[in-house]
């Protein structure tokens, strides 16, 4: 918040703030209070965003971040494993198709040479 912006409880430039601002420790205290309020607001926003994320994925809103991201990590790992397996199967299918085509061409060539 700005120095002259009103606070929820009282004015930032209250007589106490003026006294605190007169000493290095007082200035630190005023600065720290402002930063703590800002961090608290950011934390509340992050908690709200996480609750929205849980709702989006259809998870229980009491789920911990650790449990949620563990679930996401497990899903991604299983997805990657399945994708690699499907890719290997597709490559094997293509190899078999090429082998069958070569065999068929050799058989046709053998029939023509006999004829």
What is the pTM (predicted TM-score) of this model? 0.58
Taking the CA atoms of residue 25, residue 29, residue 31 and residue 32 in that order, the dihedral angle to the nearest 10 degrees is 130
Say if CB 69 and CB 78 are below 8 A apart.
no
Q: Average of pLDDT values for 68-75?
A: 96
Nearest alpha-carbon partner for 50 in 68, 38, 23: 68
| Residue range 3-56, pLDDT digits in tens | 444 444 444 567 777 777 788 888 888 889 999 999 999 999 999 999 999 999
Contacts of 33 (CB under 8 A, 6+ apart): none
Q: Average of pLDDT values for 84-112?
A: 93
């Amino acid at each position: 918040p700005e120095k002259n912006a009103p606070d929820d409880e009282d004015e930032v430039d209250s007589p106490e703030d003026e006294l605190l601002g007169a000493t290095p420790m007082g200035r630190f205290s005023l600065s720290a209070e402002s930063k703590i309020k800002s961090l608290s607001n950011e934390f509340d926003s992050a908690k709200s965003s996480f609750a929205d994320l849980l709702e989006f994925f259809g998870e229980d809103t009491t789920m911990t971040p650790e449990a949620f991201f563990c679930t996401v990590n497990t899903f991604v790992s299983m997805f990657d494993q399945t994708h690699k397996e499907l890719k290997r199967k597709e490559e094997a299918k293509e190899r078999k198709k090429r082998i069958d085509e070569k065999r068929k061409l050799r058989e046709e060539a053998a029939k023509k040479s006999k004829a």
